[in-house]
Amino acid sequence: MNQIKDLQKLIKLTGDRAKLDAKANETYIVYKTEEGQIVKEYSDGHIIPVTEQDSPHV
């Protein structure tokens, strides 16, 4: 059970670090919400859904 908690903590810390890096570099992070939507989150708090149009690999 400790391994799961450790992994959850590591994932959270990785996300927090990504947010700090995005703020420092004036960019955004991309992640999947609990509802399954992929979004871009900017350091100012704006969250924009990613559409198929935005993806160069579709």
Q: What is the pLDDT of residues 1-58, one digit of tens each?
A: 699 999 999 999 999 999 999 999 999 999 999 999 999 999 899 999 998 766 565 5
pLDDT of 8? 95
Return the domain boundaries, the chain: 2-49
* Cα dihedral: 25, 27, 32, 37 (round 10): 170
pLDDT of 11? 94
pLDDT of 50? 94
Cα–Cα distance, 21 to 26 (Å, whole number)? 8
